[in-house]
Amino acid sequence: MTNSVCHGGRRGFVLWFTGLSGAGKSTLARLTADVLCRRGLPVEVLDGDEVRTNLCKGLGFSKEDRDTNIRRIGYVARLLCRHGVCVLTAAISPYRETRRQVREEIGHFYEVFVRCPLSVCIARDVKGLYKKALSGEIKHFTGVDDPYEEPLDPELVIDTHLETPEQSTQRVIQMLENAGAIPTLSQHPSGPDNAWDNSLPFTVKERL
């Protein structure tokens, strides 16, 4: 285990959103990041699709390539965490063992299972990936012809088909406060001006 170090009097952590494509991981990561930024905390979002395009270009969707992708995301997250950054990752990360390894390497790690029925994810199909997978254009797609291994003991489970993105985000923030990962509003030097009021800078119309 690699322990995160204090930076500016605060310890970094990794908040790992895992779930099917279209479940709402990227949306929750962005909304949570906005709340943390408004509280004056250093934040970085590592989106699985963006990392795959830049850091992991050339990797396919075999189990080996998926594991490599997640390990690279975990490595970058660990480096940022060591310098006091609140790191939010949004990646399918379908395999339990790989997630366990990343958790062990990072240490200060919170897993959020973004749960949503496959039928709902297919109906959303924000990126058009399910249509391609179901037609055979994409092989080894998680949830279609490749498994997703649900977390057995995550820090938090969010059922995105049962609540609004804002409600889900509030639960994530409360979990981080209860775990001591971030200060509560009463502990925050900026006081109540940073209170949660659901007045987010944009309206979420669809989950990513």
Catalytically annotated residues: 93
CB atoms within 10 A of CB 40: 12
CA distances to 23, 69, 70, 130, 169 from 60, in Å: 21, 9, 12, 16, 31
Torsion-angle region of residue 178: left (phi > 0), alpha (psi -120 to 50) or beta?
alpha
Instruction: Find how far residue 189's CA is from the centre of its chain.
Output: 27
Relative to beta strand 156-159, strand 109-115 is parallel
Distance CA 16, CA 167 (A): 18
Hey, what are 4's tokens? 């995160």
Number of residues that make up the chain: 208
Q: What residues are paired with 20 via a beta bridge?
A: none
Q: What residues are paired with 37 via a beta bridge?
A: none
Contact 165, 145 (CB under 8 A): no
Distance CA 100, CA 78 (A): 14
